[in-house]
Structure 1
């Protein structure tokens, strides 16, 4: 086997492993970004715990087909970057979408979130979902409010009974 073929097979294996491990994968067209803009984007993605790579579309196609993600193949044309979110499936979409608002050259193309193929519209919808921590805080807040009201009510009843006894 030639050295070149061996390198390509190793890259396909690497891509397949990343696709399997990631909860959220977003494809974006990055052509036209300056080096400074790309550096800023990579920094924001890294801070959000997102891995950002550029691979040859043919290698990504092979890996995607091996995993049964044929639906993503139609979006693999032109120079594309891939953002892999391993802990928060919405993080890659959110960071890329926020960055694209200020940098019109960056275009979201498609994604795979927990095995489901997302088109551009669904990716933008996904980007509007708050981070997991914010959702948990809202959930806990919604639990806390009724409990706090119950405590205030019980305390008021107790104080009223104490004042009536006095």
Structure 2
């Protein structure tokens, strides 16, 4: 690869890493081309980019981005999965794929300016999606006023029931 091509790759990767919500490094050693295509297709379906990178080019591209924390993990063969929206999506897809293909190894990731180890990436993969979390929050926020209305409507209902019982008692007497 000539110098101009390398500079172009670094510039493109730098732009992607600046826009990324999460970047996860993997080791793909031993995977066949068909397996890599399957992985790329699974990631692309979730709008996650997957790119094999040279470690030196990744170091240069990561400068002045939150992905600089990945530098200690840049050894051996590396590929990076870059997610732009929900940071848990790349982790979920990679974890699911690594269960069916033991050749794919997750090295770690970057969430914002924080370095994630393998266990933290797995924990990120277990999180519900952003939409699910927002739905749960909305349900919780909606439950408070609903409960208050139920409690407040119970007081007049109890009063009416008591008055009706008193009226029936007086009519019987």
For normalisation by structure 1, the TM-score amounts to: 0.84
Cα distance between partner residues in 1 of 2:147 and 2:94 = 41
Q: Which residue of 2 aligns with 1:148?
A: 146
CA RMSD of aligned residues (A): 2.2
Cα distance between partner residues in 2 of 1:75 and 1:23 = 18
Q: Which residue of 1 aligns with 2:121?
A: 123
Correspondence list, 1:102-141, <5 A = 102-141=100-139
Cα deviation for residue 11 of structure 1 reads: 0.7
Tell me the secondary structure at the aligned position of residue 105 of structure 1: coil
Q: Does 1:89 align with 2:87?
A: yes
Equivalent of 1:38, from 36, 39, 46? 36
For normalisation by structure 2, the TM-score amounts to: 0.81
Cα distance between partner residues in 2 of 1:67 and 1:149 = 46
Residues 52 and 151 of structure 1, relative CA distance in 2, 3 Å threshold: same
Cα deviation for residue 68 of structure 1 reads: 7.1
Name structure 1 gaps, 5 residues minimum.
none
Q: When the two structures are aligned, how many residues end up with a matched partner? A: 164
Q: Which residue of 2 aligns with 1:52?
A: 50
Name structure 2 gaps, 5 residues minimum.
165-173
Q: Which residue of 2 aligns with 1:74?
A: 72
Equivalent of 1:15, from 7, 13, 19? 13
Tell me the secondary structure at the aligned position of residue 102 of structure 2: coil
Residues 4 and 130 of structure 1, relative CA distance in 2, 3 Å threshold: same
Cα distance between partner residues in 1 of 2:61 and 2:113 = 14
Point out 4+ residue stretches in structure 1 off by more than 4 angstroms: none
Q: Which residue of 2 aligns with 1:99?
A: 97
Cα distance between partner residues in 2 of 1:104 and 1:5 = 35
Equivalent of 2:60, from 59, 62, 77? 62
Cα deviation for residue 84 of structure 1 reads: 0.7
Cα deviation for residue 142 of structure 1 reads: 1.6
Instruction: Say which one has the larger Rg.
Output: 2
Residue deviations 1:11-55, cap 9 Å, x none? Answer: 111111111110100011122333443333223222322111112
